[in-house]
Amino acid sequence: MPNQIDLFQQEPMYITGKPVVTIFHNSTNLFSIVKLKVNETNSTYEDKEIIVTGYFPPLMNEETYRFTGQIKQHPKYGTQFQVETFAKDVPETEQGIIHYLSSDLFHGIGRKTAETIVKKLGKDAIRLILDDPEALDAVPRLAKEKKETIRMTLEQNLGLERVMIQLNEWGFGPQLAMRIYQTYREETIEVLMKNPFRLIEDVEGIGFHRADELGSKLGMTGKHPDRIKAAVFHLLNAASLSEGHVYLHAEHILPSVKQLLESSQFEEVPYDAISTACMELVEEGKLAGEMSRFYLPSLYFSEVGIASKLETLIQEQQERTGFPTSEIRKALGEAEERLGVSYAETQIAAIELGMNASVMLLTGGPGTGKTTVVRGLVEVYAELHGLTLDPKEYAKKQEPFPIILAAPTGRAAKRLNESTGLPSMTIHRLLGFTGQEKEEETERDIKGNLIIIDEMSMVDTWLAHQLLKAIPEGAQVIFVGDQDQLPPVGPGQVLKDLLASKRIPTVELTDIYRQSAGSSIIELAHQMKKGQLPTNLIDKTSDRSFIKAGPEQIPKVVEQVIKSALAKGHTIKELQVLAPMYKGPAGIDALNKMIQQMVNPNDTKKRKEIVFGETTYRIGDKVLQLVNQPESQVYNGDMGEVISISKASENVEKQDMLVVSFEGIEVTYQRNDLGQLTLAYCCSIHKSQGSEFPIVIMPVVRSYMKMLRRNLLYTGITRAKNFLILCGDAEVFKFGIERNDDLARLTSLKERLSEEAVPVTEPIVEDEGSEVVNEVADENEKEISLTASNHLTIHPLVGMNGTTPYDFLDKAE
């Protein structure tokens, strides 16, 4: 058994030895598990072999390696050495170096060449070559090809270790250090020494404060230009990802950046230094500036691209030859007979508009018949264009299906398929995204004549741009959605802006058709849209009930509701608990554990299970996919069931694995993939968007109050198809309905689409009371110094002489 590290030991704990067998190696993040034959250690570990785990590349069996780290006792797998740094043992004598350089590792390098190198560079030859690739130029008569061989082989075999040791000394753990190395490779140290703040832009998971710590170690403190630029970029990036903003005003950026910089280091950063940094970021193409706004370039060009494509579609409308109303009505009458439905006047108006519009919006709340109209649009379009709706006919001819139905999530796409009987898919799949590319750099082409996108309220600015870019000339586009639902998880509010611009032909459905006219769930939703509540909120109806409970009582109430539903013959798949927060007794995490123990326990401890972090998975568990995995046709928000568990001792991969079925699509997850999953008995309201469930149980308690808003509650209750059980505090529910400050997002798409939009070359005043100067031309002629008192009055494009990012639009696209 291992002893604990000696408290008086100055040197880090290490173990040296040769690999016996590699038990596991992940080629993506380089996480490895290796059995090591121990040669030497400064711990009191006495066994001849030990398991080492950590992030390092494949090891060569005959090589000796030195690992630093800690000995840990794994509850299941026993004693392991947890690696922090690793290095290959490098010979230190001249003879040892000659032997090393003339080994089979260095192809084409014989003993004489190795001796010549050592004679010239001495016993520090390896270090000198790694530090300075031109060091070999000093060796006489050494061919260029051999120099490259030596440099590349040393870099491949020793460069990574050197980088990892340096990153460890800078305070980065093994996993993060490996991610940094995979970004910059052999240039890692050089890149970070020059500008450590690049980490914020280039490496996921590193924010300003972490990069600032490294910058401080490297002497880039206070008002260093790279530090200021990093803070500006960080602020804009955080605003887009956390708050959904597409841009920030200069008057917000300057004081916020100043506060961020001065809060971590006690040195004043002047406003003019921040302003200069903003302008330089624009010049470098890392920010886009327009009027008093600053954007991330991808968001700026996405908005411009969306507006440009929509303007093209609007122009195409003027040139389009439409079908006569009589012809549309005739085709619609035939469709009504086939479908067994009778369309109302508003629905007929939507179908008529859809047949002749290049682009249109179809919007409305729950139960207003949006899906029924979509089916009618498809049927009438096919009739008018003489098309069959049988996909097999197109497959025989190897032709694309002419009508495309898509939605942001897999579950929303599945609902579209179920309601229309036609092929549907996610927008990501439609665009062919693999999940590996940067979306703003992709070019896709859609082959279709009528394109209908459902759940448009969930589509963010980036995705909307990619979608519109891919729409072929002459195609008709119909966007369907409910603007009162939650905005997208990503930046922007595309549907809301399109509606507000009033440039896109729109039909809003208001009459209620879905379910019975007396559905209290639908009635509640439409009252909530108006900020009203029914007087009978807490009364029990045929499809809705309200159970009074405090936060501590919620788990018991949810348990009783589920027991009652199961006893009546419902399955756990039909029930969905929705909550806005993860922590606390009424949070998602606690409710998931409680429900799992209730419906899928392992009291005898005889069932197979996999524990990952704080989550336990068993066969039969309901799970939720957290990230897009297009190669497996599984996407963020998809729900599935664990159907198989294989322990490490039972498979050739020697690793715990589980298989999840997503509506028949089976996906295998190894242990290191389990971060992509979570239990789904209870999920967030955001994750439920685009889905419907027969029974929804939704706690609403005081501990949720900071999260509660009308659109959140509205989205939650409209997920219920047949029954809605609210539990908690009616006053808290009322508070959420009255709170309609839906954290307004800063976007400029509406303005770009507006017929009254101000030309981009003429700056405008953004906020009432702001003293942002309108005439940049006048300011360009002055010499200006930014101060704390005048920083809000100076336009951010001063000195740009009328240049805006629009001038580079063709180049960027």
368: annotated binding-site residue? yes
DSSP H helix total and E strand total for the chain = 30, 26
Q: Is residue 367 annotated as involved in ligand binding? A: yes
Q: Which two tokens stand for residue 246?
A: 């597409």
Spatial separation of the C-alpha atoms in residues 776 and 781, rounded to whole Å: 9
DSSP classification of residue 205: T
| DSSP one-letter code for 532 | -
SS3 assignment for 102-150? CCCCCCCCCHHHHHHHHHHHHHHHHHHHHHCHHHHHHCCCCCHHHHHHH
- Determine contact, residues 408/426, Cβ cutoff 8 Å: yes
Contact by Cβ (8 Å): 301, 440: yes
Contacts of 641 by beta carbon, 8 Å cutoff, 6+ apart: 573, 620, 621, 622, 623, 660, 661
Sign of the alpha-carbon torsion through 559, 682, 695, 618: negative
CA 396/CA 284 separation, integer angstroms: 52
Cβ distance 704 to 600 under 8 Å?
no
Closest by Cα among 687, 691, 585, 577 to 636: 687
Residues with Cβ within 8 Å of residue 415, at least 6 apart in sequence? 371, 407, 454, 690, 691, 692
Is 675 marked as binding a ligand?
Answer: no
Contacts of 620 (CB under 8 A, 6+ apart): 600, 641, 642
Q: How far apart are CA 352 and CA 327, in angstroms?
A: 10
| Three-state secondary-structure class, residue 746 | coil
Cβ neighbours for 319, distance < 8 A, ≥ 6 positions apart: none
- Tokens matching residue 249: 């005003």
The token duo for 756 is 């009254």
Query: Are the C-beta atoms of 265 and 205 separated by less than 8 Å?
Result: no
Contact 670, 652 (CB under 8 A): no
Give the orientation angle of helix 710-717 with respect to helix 520-529, to 10 degrees. 160
> Residues marked as binding for ATP?
367-371
> Residues marked as binding?
367-371
